[in-house]
Chain A
Amino acid sequence: TARPCMLISSSVALDFVLIGRTSAFLLLHQARAERFFRSDHTNNWAVLVCTSRFWFNYRHVANTLSVYRSVKRLGIPDSHIVLMLADDMACNHRNPKPATVFSHKNMELNVYGDDVEVDYRGYEVTVENFLRVLTGRLPPSTPRSKRLLSDDHSNILIYLTGHGGNGFLKFQDSEEISNVELADAFEQMWQKRRYNELLFIIDTCQGASMYERFYSPNLMALASSQVGEDSLSHQPDLAIGVHLMDRYTFYLLEFLEDIHPASQANMNDLFKVCPKSQCVSTPGHRTDLFQRDPGSVLITDFFGSVRKVEITMETINLTVPGIPLERFGGEPHTETALAYVDQLPVAQIIHQKPKQKDWHPPDGFILGLWTLILLVFFRTYGIKHLKHIF
């Protein structure tokens, strides 16, 4: 169901676009144009967290980095991504390929890349910092890159991975965040209007327990396994000597690789990622707190950035056929060759006199001066000299 504000904005847009109208075309164009304004979010944010450290938890860092890669590829800039990695796998002493983190065995895909920006690293990834990022209660000295500066029109993607259990997620081998804390943090975000819609994905053992306690509106959650099940890792790489990815995120990455910024895939496709035959655990999802129908929610609403531009190859006829378009002016407007504005007006800087192409009459001041001199001359020396001049 469309909201009143959407109808108003769409009808305003239609007024600008259409000139001739019939009711049937109005509806058709209205439906097409409505696609521009389906979700009312204006910006996208992503908070991607890996909570485990140590070399044998390589796969959690690889999970987070692969989601980071997809999210960046689909358009969310680094300034809108808060990436928290609890340990440095790329530069770990045990990494036989330094400065890389692979997600596929045989080293097909390096998810570390050249331009990764980690906002919270190492021991900074704590439960307190994570909750502060979500709720915005950060000290004034925190730089912008470490803040979640979302507003009430932001769609936020939150991805958590690590070791978890029934109702908790372990941070850094020393502390835990419980599902109650997480639900309360989201409620704080809702009350402070820090999000428009929120997608929560968690890939841990017994991950479904983490979204059981949510109670704020506009939350959609996905988990890699149900309570009592373990999320399994996907494949080991013998050269590196560790498991590279978890199964759920591996198939999620595979799914996301097919998404491009104009893709129309919706959430129902995301729910089908990694069925039990591939994942061994049963992924779960929760949509009861979400206002819209998941079938109408695009993947790019959360994983990509907002674009008011729809790239299309087909032509859309915005006019009613048969009614000629009135043009402004009569003759065709000859296009003058466009040039850039002079960025550096050297002439004005060096005070050169501009070359004048046209003759201009002498200056009025000089004319008046000469007239004054002549009148004074004839006054003093007599008027009889005037006939010598004229």
Chain B
Amino acid sequence: MGLLSDPNRRRALTNLLTRLNTPICVLCYLAGVAWFMGLAFEPFTLRTYMSENAMGSTMVEERFPAGERALVTAREFGAHKRKSGAMPVDWLVKTMQSRGLEVYTQSFSRRLPFPDENKERYMVRGTNVYGILRAPRAPRTEALVLSAPCSPDNSNNQAVGLLLGLAQYFRSQIYWAKDIIFLVNEHDLIGMQAWLEAYHHTNITGMDWAPLHGRGGSIQAALSLELSSDVVTSLDLVLEGLNGQLPNLDLANLFYTFCQKQDILCTIQEKLQRSDWDSVSGYSQAVQTMALMVLKQASGRPWGDHGLFLRYHIESATIRGINSFRQYKTDTTTVGRLLEGMFRKLNNLLERLHQSYFFYLLPSLSRFVSIGYYMPAFGFLAVILLLRALDLWVQLGALPSVTEDGVGSRALPLQSSSPSLVSILTPVVISHLTGAALYTLPVLSQELAVQHFPVSETEAVVLTAIAIYTAGLALPHNTHRYSSIAKQGWRVLKLVAVLYLAVLLSCTALINFSLGFILALTLVPVAAFVTPHVPKVLSAVVMVLLAPGCTLLYCVFAFQELQEAPVSLIDGWMLFLSVISQGMLDHALYGSLVYPLLALFIYPCWLILWNILFWK
């Protein structure tokens, strides 16, 4: 007889599974964590290389001469900005027209669901200005975008100046095969979202914008520039976009090769390159860089103005100029030459960037880890859930035989050995209703909260969210009253919860590996060990400490630690509150999915496990 159809052998296998379940789970967890930490180890990573044939090597002659003139333009722009208080639309239109571009403006307005305390805005109204440089001989089917945000304070003037200088230089060349759109967006991400939505004729977030009068063709690639000083010591590349989406690795490779050609210092996560990656300190820096990227990707928010392009399958990155105390400085002309070289190479593209990886982690700019290498780390953690589910299934299957064989000390009625569907659904439904309340109530009830409590709207929203989250902890005492299921019904519920969590985390990891991995790190042990029979108080404390909310708190502290700007507990708590409010705003403004995922799916799942802990 076969291995699985022979009852004796099957019983032997299932006994093995039951006996070894916990050790294997522990082993898998440790293997997953070790695999993740080992990803940054230098011999396991691959050197980055240019995959796109059309972009070839850096053989192009950059001749951009006008760095100083760009700085003069930047100072003019700054002066006009100070004078008008907002973006100097007329001056920008006039300057772009004098450089020979087709200039258009777009106005937009948006009322945020609650005031944004970080950027101090609530009712946002602005104008985007963009100029299109038409390709001299090509049909208008493709476009490239160079954008610089217009910040209200005195930053990013040099970015706009360099953008205008490049526009003038590009205008006199004849080798452009794609239109180039020079965009200056106001209110950074909100303006960019308005422009992109109007360009692609979609309206995802309910913003109010004027339609675009001038258009350039389908956008192949976009670069966003942030430059706040006349000289820079290094250029930082920001890749993480909305919902953890990353541009094609070829764009990062292109930036890196041109940085090397122009002899500019380039960084990622603001960490410098080094030559000794296989030493201990090199390894720790690689791990730090990778961990920063994981945290940024998991937050699901766009970390530069480029982050919103990725949703439309436009490869984009942000280049940020950093001026630190270093001897070797790079002037604006060299930065302009780097951008010129990158644009000439992007001009040679015949199709969208697709040859290189879309899913990767970068321990440094010269090394990468592709999805095939990092996914097993998550796979080990997901296997734990499947093993637990198998174990529960075996236990559930073994139960009727136990009651049949058992000498009637506990005369259980036969129908209660298989709990009814309704009794399982009750905790599930109530948990999800709590999740839905966590998702909708904070924003809806901010008016009510402001009336009754002396807090601002933002604080009201955040504190309501925390309140609902904590209130969910009290649920088991309530749900229990409505159910009258047998003591062993918790196994079915746990089976459902574990499988649900496995599916949820796997789907999340496919789209946003970092988010899935971080959630799995804390939720999988909870899901694995929780039963009604473990010591209640200790496990309750552990569960609360490993809950999604606390995971977010740890991530905030870890992020600050990795950025070498550690915060005290109070500051960390304030940061945590602002992170919650930013998450909700990102969801409302740009369609970030982290907040709905956590509120509507992860939190109810955790609540179901909390219910199992307090099963009576």
B60 contacts which of A56, A91, A241 (Cβ < 8 Å)?
A241
* A237 CB contacts on chain B under 8 angstroms: 59
**Nearest chain-B residue to A55 (Cβ)?**
B348
Which segment, of A17-25, A93-101, A256-264, faces chain B? A93-101
Query: What is the distance, in angstroms, from B220's C-beta to the closest C-beta of chain A?
Result: 14
Contact A93–B59 (Cβ < 8 Å)? no
B54 contacts which of A56, A91, A95 (Cβ < 8 Å)?
A56
Query: What is the distance, in angstroms, from B262's C-beta to the closest C-beta of chain A?
Result: 14
Bound CA–CA A370/B176 (angstroms): 98
Query: What is the distance, in angstroms, from A88's C-beta to the closest C-beta of chain B?
Result: 12
Residue interface mask B151-188, A partner, CB < 8 A = 1: 00000000000000000000001111100000000000
User: Which residues between 66 and 122 of chain A lie within 8 Å of chain B, taking CB atoms?
Assistant: 91-96, 98
Known: A54-B54, A242-B56. A93 touches B344 (CB 8 A): no
Contact B177–A94 (Cβ < 8 Å)? yes
Contact B350–A55 (Cβ < 8 Å)? yes
Query: Could you list some 30 contacts between A and B, CB below 8 A?
Result: A55-B54, A56-B54, A56-B56, A91-B137, A92-B177, A93-B135, A93-B136, A93-B137, A93-B175, A93-B176, A93-B177, A94-B175, A95-B175, A96-B174, A96-B175, A98-B137, A98-B174, A236-B57, A236-B59, A238-B59, A238-B61, A239-B61, A241-B59, A241-B60, A241-B61, A241-B175, A241-B344, A241-B348, A242-B59, A243-B59
Residue interface mask A219-238, B partner, CB < 8 A = 1: 00000000000000000111
Interface size class of B (residues with CB under 8 A): 20 to 34
Query: What is the distance, in angstroms, from A342's C-beta to the closest C-beta of chain B?
Result: 54
Known pairs A56-B53, A56-B54, A241-B348; list 13 more (Cβ under 8 Å): A55-B348, A92-B177, A93-B137, A93-B175, A94-B348, A236-B57, A237-B59, A238-B59, A241-B59, A241-B60, A241-B61, A241-B175, A243-B59
Residue B138 at the chain A interface, CB threshold 8 Å: yes
Residue B347 at the chain A interface, CB threshold 8 Å: yes
Q: What does DSSP make chain B's interface, helix, strand, loop or mixed?
A: loop
Residue interface mask A312-343, B partner, CB < 8 A = 1: 00000000000000000000000000000000
* B136 CB contacts on chain A under 8 angstroms: 93
Query: What is the distance, in angstroms, from B463's C-beta to the closest C-beta of chain A?
Result: 58
**Nearest chain-B residue to A53 (Cβ)?**
B350
* B348 CB contacts on chain A under 8 angstroms: 55-56, 94, 241
* B53 CB contacts on chain A under 8 angstroms: 56
Bound CA–CA A96/B350 (angstroms): 17
Known: A236-B59, A238-B60. A94 touches B347 (CB 8 A): yes
Q: What does DSSP make chain A's interface, helix, strand, loop or mixed?
A: loop
* B138 CB contacts on chain A under 8 angstroms: 93
* A239 CB contacts on chain B under 8 angstroms: 61
Residue interface mask B23-60, A partner, CB < 8 A = 1: 00000000000000000000000000000011011011
* A56 CB contacts on chain B under 8 angstroms: 53-54, 56, 348
Query: What is the distance, in angstroms, from A288's C-beta to the closest C-beta of chain B?
Result: 37
Query: What is the distance, in angstroms, from A312's C-beta to the closest C-beta of chain B?
Result: 48
Residue interface mask A334-374, B partner, CB < 8 A = 1: 00000000000000000000000000000000000000000
Bound CA–CA A378/B552 (angstroms): 154
* A91 CB contacts on chain B under 8 angstroms: 137
Query: What is the distance, in angstroms, from A376's C-beta to the closest C-beta of chain B?
Result: 97
Contact B60–A96 (Cβ < 8 Å)? no
Residue interface mask B109-146, A partner, CB < 8 A = 1: 00000000000000000000000000111100000000
* A98 CB contacts on chain B under 8 angstroms: 137, 174
User: Which residues between 242 and 256 of chain A lie within 8 Å of chain B, taking CB atoms?
Assistant: 242-243
**Nearest chain-A residue to B175 (Cβ)?**
A96
* B174 CB contacts on chain A under 8 angstroms: 96, 98
* B177 CB contacts on chain A under 8 angstroms: 92-94
* B61 CB contacts on chain A under 8 angstroms: 238-239, 241
**Nearest chain-B residue to A236 (Cβ)?**
B59
**Nearest chain-B residue to A56 (Cβ)?**
B54
* B54 CB contacts on chain A under 8 angstroms: 54-56
Query: What is the distance, in angstroms, from B138's C-beta to the closest C-beta of chain A?
Result: 4
User: Which residues between 7 and 60 of chain A lie within 8 Å of chain B, taking CB atoms?
Assistant: 54-56
Query: What is the distance, in angstroms, from A252's C-beta to the closest C-beta of chain B?
Result: 23
* A242 CB contacts on chain B under 8 angstroms: 56, 59
Query: What is the distance, in angstroms, from A49's C-beta to the closest C-beta of chain B?
Result: 21
- Can you list the 9 inter-chain pairs with the closest CB atoms, starting with the nearest? A93-B177, A238-B61, A93-B138, A236-B59, A96-B175, A241-B60, A93-B137, A94-B177, A56-B54
Bound CA–CA A19/B350 (angstroms): 72
* B59 CB contacts on chain A under 8 angstroms: 236-238, 241-243
Bound CA–CA A94/B350 (angstroms): 11
**Nearest chain-A residue to B61 (Cβ)?**
A238
* B60 CB contacts on chain A under 8 angstroms: 238, 241
Bound CA–CA A55/B344 (angstroms): 13
Bound CA–CA A143/B54 (angstroms): 36
Contact B173–A96 (Cβ < 8 Å)? yes
Bound CA–CA A242/B350 (angstroms): 14
Residue interface mask B391-429, A partner, CB < 8 A = 1: 000000000000000000000000000000000000000
Bound CA–CA A243/B348 (angstroms): 13
Query: What is the distance, in angstroms, from A279's C-beta to the closest C-beta of chain B?
Result: 20
Bound CA–CA A92/B348 (angstroms): 11
* A96 CB contacts on chain B under 8 angstroms: 173-175
* A238 CB contacts on chain B under 8 angstroms: 59-61
Bound CA–CA A91/B174 (angstroms): 12
Query: What is the distance, in angstroms, from B479's C-beta to the closest C-beta of chain A?
Result: 63
* B57 CB contacts on chain A under 8 angstroms: 236
* B175 CB contacts on chain A under 8 angstroms: 93-96, 241
Bound CA–CA A176/B173 (angstroms): 37
Bound CA–CA A98/B348 (angstroms): 15
Known: A95-B175, A96-B174, A239-B61. A54 touches B135 (CB 8 A): no
User: Which residues between 351 and 371 of chain B lie within 8 Å of chain A, taking CB atoms?
Assistant: none
* B176 CB contacts on chain A under 8 angstroms: 93
**Nearest chain-B residue to A92 (Cβ)?**
B177
Query: What is the distance, in angstroms, from A170's C-beta to the closest C-beta of chain B?
Result: 13
Query: What is the distance, in angstroms, from A390's C-beta to the closest C-beta of chain B?
Result: 103
Query: What is the distance, in angstroms, from A236's C-beta to the closest C-beta of chain B?
Result: 4
* B137 CB contacts on chain A under 8 angstroms: 91, 93, 98
Bound CA–CA A49/B345 (angstroms): 28
**Residue with the highest number of chain B CB atoms closer than 10 Å, among A55, A94, A239:** A94
* A54 CB contacts on chain B under 8 angstroms: 54, 350
**Residue with the highest number of chain B CB atoms closer than 10 Å, among A55, A93, A98, A236:** A93
* B344 CB contacts on chain A under 8 angstroms: 241
* A236 CB contacts on chain B under 8 angstroms: 57, 59
Bound CA–CA A35/B253 (angstroms): 62
Bound CA–CA A147/B138 (angstroms): 33
Bound CA–CA A173/B581 (angstroms): 52
**Residue with the highest number of chain A CB atoms closer than 10 Å, among B61, B135, B138, B175:** B175
Query: What is the distance, in angstroms, from B448's C-beta to the closest C-beta of chain A?
Result: 61
Bound CA–CA A194/B350 (angstroms): 40
Residue interface mask B534-558, A partner, CB < 8 A = 1: 0000000000000000000000000
Query: What is the distance, in angstroms, from A58's C-beta to the closest C-beta of chain B?
Result: 10
**Nearest chain-B residue to A238 (Cβ)?**
B61
* B347 CB contacts on chain A under 8 angstroms: 94
**Nearest chain-B residue to A239 (Cβ)?**
B61
Query: What is the distance, in angstroms, from B55's C-beta to the closest C-beta of chain A?
Result: 8
Bound CA–CA A189/B300 (angstroms): 66
Bound CA–CA A157/B60 (angstroms): 36
Bound CA–CA A387/B52 (angstroms): 125
**Nearest chain-A residue to B56 (Cβ)?**
A56
Bound CA–CA A236/B57 (angstroms): 10
Bound CA–CA A369/B534 (angstroms): 158
* B173 CB contacts on chain A under 8 angstroms: 96
Query: What is the distance, in angstroms, from B46's C-beta to the closest C-beta of chain A?
Result: 22
Query: What is the distance, in angstroms, from A230's C-beta to the closest C-beta of chain B?
Result: 14
**Nearest chain-A residue to B136 (Cβ)?**
A93
Bound CA–CA A242/B345 (angstroms): 10
Bound CA–CA A269/B60 (angstroms): 36
Query: What is the distance, in angstroms, from B349's C-beta to the closest C-beta of chain A?
Result: 9
